[in-house]
Amino acid sequence: MAVCVAVIAKENYPLYIRSSPTENELKFHYMVHTSLDVVDEKISAMGKALVDQRELYLGLLYPTEDHKSPCEKRMFPNQLCRYGYVTNSKVKFVMVVDSSNTALRDNEIRSMFRKLHSSYTDVMCNPFYNPGDRIQSRAFDSMVTSMMVQVC
């Protein structure tokens, strides 16, 4: 399950960031922003192929093993994997997934991004939402909460 979910605007500022262990929130913000460099590299490497194929899912950005779970008494390190997704309007989704407990398959990650993209589209269709503002939709927040891992 996801540990952190972020929606980043075309200009690389956050529209929405939510992390499950709130005591490490700043660390997850840093992880998301460092992932943006990899997202930009993947987008530029795909170039015109991204537009031609309409493939929005970028896949695994890179794994890290420096996160410690606060629930475990001996503080075993968990492996966190960062995945990326970019919309046609260049809005980026970054998801940090704890893969130590469950081995998530690529199809499950894709479906999580499709669900996130669908909910993001619903937010954009709201006539009271100004594009570029922070996302404060309760429906979007509850959908993200359902994707997040429950800590302790």
Q: What is the pLDDT of residues 101-130, one digit of tens each?
A: 555 677 888 888 999 999 999 999 999 999
What is the distance between the alpha carbons of residues 14 and 92, in angstroms, rounded to a whole number?
A: 9
Question: Pairing relation of β-strands 77-86 and 57-68?
Answer: antiparallel
Cα–Cα distances in angstroms (integers) from residue 68 to residues 23, 72, 83, 98, 137, in the given order: 12, 8, 19, 11, 31
> Taking the model in full, what pTM does it have?
0.80
Q: Which CATH number among 3.30.450.70, 3.90.550.10, 3.40.50.300, 3.30.10.20 corresponds to the domain 2-147?
A: 3.30.450.70
Q: How many CA atoms lie within 13 A of 122 on its CB side?
A: 13
Asked if residue 66 has pLDDT above 70, the reply is no
pLDDT-derived band at 15 (thresholds 50, 70, 90) equals very high
- The domain ranges of the chain are 2-147
Q: Count CA atoms closer than 13 A to 151's CA, side-chain side.
A: 17
C-alpha to C-alpha distance for 14 and 88, rounded to whole angstroms:
17
